[in-house]
Amino acid sequence: MRRAVISAALAALLAAGVATAARAQDETPKLPRERWSFSGPFGALDLAAAQRGFQVYNDVCAACHSMNLLHYRDLSGIGLTEEQIKAVAASKTYDIIGDDGQPTTRPGTPADVFKAPYPNEKAAAASFGGSYPPDQSVLVNAREGGPDYIYAILTGYTDPPPGFKLAEGLYYNEYFPGHQIHMPQPLHDDQVTYADGTKATVDQMSHDLTTFLYWTANPEEVQRKQIGWRMVLFFGMMAGLTYAWKRQMWSGLH
């Protein structure tokens, strides 16, 4: 059987070699690999960064991007207190049909979905020359590269290289496929004032915002990894026990 395993390994190696040789050249630069609090099996969300990120989202992104899968109550997941959540929700106004059948408004509650800036995708697209700002709920999971990609886009605005023809109404971004992006540079130094005194550089805000967006896309992640360790340890231990048991049982065979 050992020879079979070696042969299989050789076959896999051969296959891997073929893949390396055939890898196509990529025109966008390699994504910078950031350090994220949540990455790795021991990762845990940096709550302070996620809360700062929510502030950036609420003050900047929410002007154009919806987040339809999130409710204000979910914000307890990044450590906001009940009062803070109520206050955030109450600062939004929702159009409703009143008891008299007439359109009216009411303040938001923790049970409300994040207030969307546009009533629908078409309205959003109409304001942005036909291309609507994507919903941000699971945006991190929806892009190759995940948080590294989002961070790279947020910090990737530069002047186009000489000779690059930039279309009307588009912006140059190093990491965007094709380099021409509809979104103008969203973050500028000191655009928000952090309550905890952290200096709001583009880099810092991008990092915080990405942390927040990672959480909105994967709110279960911290609990998932905690349970995961218990599961892996449990089954690993059971594997050890059953192996010992099996050895003992089979040793009686003649």
Partner 1 sequence: MIGLHKSTMKNPVIRWIDSRMPIFSMMQNEYGAFPTPRNFNYFWNFGALAMVMLMIMIITGVLLAMNYTPRADLAFDSVQRIMRDVNYGWMIRYIHQNGGSMFFIVVYIHIFRGLYYGSYKYPRELLWMTGVILLLVMMATAFMGYVLPWGQMSYWGATVITNLFSAIPLVGQSIVTWLWGGFSVDNPTLQRFFSLHYLLPFIIVGVVFLHVVALHITGSNNPLGIEPKGPQDTIPFHPYYTIKDSFGLCVFLTLYAAIVFFAPNYLGDPNNFIPANPLQTPADIVPEWYFLPFYAILRSVPDKLGGVVLMFGSILVLFVIPWLDTSPVRSARFRPLYRPFIFVLVASVIVLGMVGAHHPEGIWVILGRVGTAYYFLHFLVIMPLFGVIERPLPLPESISRPVLRPPGAGGGPLPGGATAKPMDKA
| Chain positions contacting partner 1, by CB under 8 A | 1, 4, 7-8, 10-12, 14-15, 18-19, 21-22, 24, 41, 68-69, 74, 134, 137-139, 141-144, 146, 217, 219-220, 224-225, 227-229, 231-232, 235-236, 238-239, 242-243, 245-246, 249-254
- Which is closer to partner 1, CB of 5 or CB of 167? 5
Q: Tell me 63's DSSP state.
A: G
The least CB distance from residue 102 to partner 1, in Å, is 28
The least CB distance from residue 163 to partner 1, in Å, is 25
Count how many Cα atoms sit within 13 Å of the Cα of residue 175 in the half-sphere of its side chain.
20
CB atoms within 10 A of CB 153: 21
95 three-state secondary structure? strand
The least CB distance from residue 135 to partner 1, in Å, is 8
94 three-state secondary structure? strand
- Which is closer to partner 1, CB of 176 or CB of 205? 176
CA angle 28, 137, 39 (to 5 degrees): 65
Q: What's the rounded Cα separation, in Å, for the pair 208 and 202?
A: 10
Q: What's the rounded Cα separation, in Å, for the pair 131 and 61?
A: 16
The strand pair at 103-107 and 171-172 is best described as unpaired
The least CB distance from residue 68 to partner 1, in Å, is 8
- Which is closer to partner 1, CB of 103 or CB of 250? 250
- Which is closer to partner 1, CB of 24 or CB of 195? 24
- Which is closer to partner 1, CB of 11 or CB of 166? 11
